[in-house]
Chains A and B, each alone.
Chain A
């Protein structure tokens, strides 16, 4: 078992297997650097670094496919022996390679660009409000801890502009001051939307109700800081890719599909767990709605794959239950199917 694992690991991480990730990490570190002409975003670094696990899954599938179908490769007799646990060793070697690559990614980033402290503490995000008769709607979703909603209200008439007006859902409103709300305290309606209706403020004149200025309202999200942000992000990325690795290897082993197709379909399945809710499902095409509906049955893993310029929106938002479901159930299905004896094609 050790021999099998070691040999597959060396095959995965030979010079061809390491060259692409090494170049990728160095380029990504420069591209997202604070000191060179970079984008100064950890999300951009993670987005590029996520290509390494994708590359690894394809490479593991390709090597596994070669072993299944080709003849005359090194140690073929040893590795084909039915007493050896070939699929498990391949999976273990690929897991080790994944962890090694992500450690390399962390090291490359830490060495090339030390943690900066000059970026702002808060990141502000525009919100897709939907105006309706009952007020403005916003799809309820999980925001990172410490997020705050800043709402701007336009007032027309007030008996006493200096007074504080009480709202049953949002507390006290003061003209000229943004309304600050913790999104965790806003109840969602039955359709999963937050409703912002400011006609409930108890003023006698309905014209006095303020209007929500959606173009001047934002969600403020604390920007993750500290030495643990990068390692935690990479660890979550590893948790995201592990079940996909098992699934991709199982697909290659038990079906006759090509490594590229196995990798693509497995990764798309995984990425569906990070799809956000559609802003307007009614206006989406039927196929988009159908695939999106299918994705809603999967656990929400957007907090595991925090990539790109809006990475802090998802940082740490995946519930533990979804993570366990992903690792145990989906990873378990992938692993069990990987370890099933392979059906020999009829000759």
Chain B
């Protein structure tokens, strides 16, 4: 009887875990930590071999599976700035693809990133500096993704420990009417275009 009850208890816990992975089982943390380390090894191999695409994939997996976000920004920067900018010897199409991948990586991982404010700024920078989305409508308003990323960055004052200038910019933005607000963001994004984030 006791053997049956103990088995039933173990099976119930395993079923509960299978349905709700949030409920941890013994030794699960050790397995996850080992996996964290293996993913780091894989990522470092990609960094050394300069396989940027695989680096971005591994960084995203590290974030999702191990909660380690430090590599996402680095991977996005490598793809969207190191590889995709006009100085790169790669073809235009490949550079655009790399930049788009970097933006997607930052946009999709924003919810899980510990410090999303710094990534929002980088996202806006990559979009603007690589002329993404403007291909479809060259004379259009500032790209929506870039504008919303920039606005998100301004709204949090650039992060919790940033100087007050970013917060002032957001208040300046709020004090404007609807039309001038777009111009204001456009000016800010144009400023990003002139930056060299090296």
**Minimum CB–CB distance for A255 against chain B, Å:** 4
Q: Nearest CB to that of A148 among chain B residues? A: B160
The verdict on A177 contacting B41 (CB below 8 Å), with A124-B115, A264-B10, A267-B26 known, is no
In the complex, how many residues of chain B place their beta carbon closer than 8 angstroms to a beta carbon of chain A? 58
Q: Which residues of A contact B140 (CB under 8 A)?
A: none
For window 16-56 of B, CB contacts with A under 8 Å fall at: 16-17, 19-20, 22-27, 29-30, 32-34, 36-37, 40-41, 44
Q: Which residues of A contact B41 (CB under 8 A)?
A: 37
Interface size range of chain A in the complex: 35 or more
Q: Is A10 located at the chain interface by the 8 A CB criterion?
A: no
Given A215-B110, A256-B3, A287-B19, CB of A37 within 8 Å of CB of B40: yes
> A319 within 8 Å of B by Cβ?
no
Given contacts A47-B33, A291-B12, contact A216 B156 (CB under 8 A): yes
Chain A positions 161-180 with a Cβ under 8 Å from a chain B Cβ: 161-162, 174-178, 180
A275 within 8 A of B: yes
Q: How many angstroms from the CA of A39 to the CA of B71 in the assembled complex?
A: 12
B29 contact set on A, CB distance < 8 A: 43, 47, 50, 307-308
Q: Are B30 and A50 in contact (CB under 8 A)?
A: yes
A269-283 at interface with B (beta carbon < 8 Å): 269-272, 274-276, 278-279
With both beta carbons as reference points, the residue of chain A lying nearest to B25 in the complex is identified as A271
Complex Cα–Cα for A219 and B7 (A): 39
Q: Decide: B167 and A292 in contact? CB cutoff 8 A.
A: no
B22 & A278 in contact (Cβ 8 Å cutoff): yes
Contact pick for A261, options B3, B27, B30, B32, CB 8 Å: B3
User: Contacts A39-B68, A220-B160, A264-B10; is A308 near B20 (CB within 8 Å)?
Assistant: no
Residues 27-75 (chain A) with a chain B CB within 8 angstroms: 31-32, 37-39, 41, 43-44, 47-48, 50-51, 54
Tell whether, in the assembled complex, residue B30 and residue A292 are in contact, meaning their CB atoms are under 8 Å apart. no
Q: Which of A78-86, A150-158, A334-342 lies at the interface?
A: A150-158
Please state if B112 and A126 are interface contacts (CB–CB under 8 Å): yes
Segment 190-229 of A: residues with Cβ below 8 Å from B: 213-216, 218, 220
A269 to chain B, nearest CB (A): 8
Report A's interface with B, CB cutoff 8 A. 31-32, 37-39, 41, 43-44, 47-48, 50-51, 54, 123-126, 150, 152-155, 157-158, 161-162, 174-178, 180, 213-216, 218, 220, 251, 255-258, 261-262, 264-265, 267-272, 274-276, 278-279, 284-285, 287-288, 290-292, 295, 307-310
Nearest first, the 9 closest Cβ-Cβ pairs linking A and B are: A176-B167, A176-B170, A124-B114, A255-B2, A47-B29, A285-B19, A307-B29, A44-B33, A161-B174
What would 20 more interface pairs be, CB under 8 Å, given A38-B40, A215-B110, A255-B2?
A39-B33, A39-B40, A39-B68, A47-B30, A48-B30, A155-B174, A157-B174, A158-B174, A161-B170, A162-B175, A175-B174, A177-B167, A214-B111, A216-B110, A216-B156, A284-B19, A285-B20, A288-B16, A291-B13, A309-B67
A-B contact pairs, 6 of them (CB 8 A): A155-B155, A215-B152, A267-B26, A271-B24, A291-B23, A308-B29
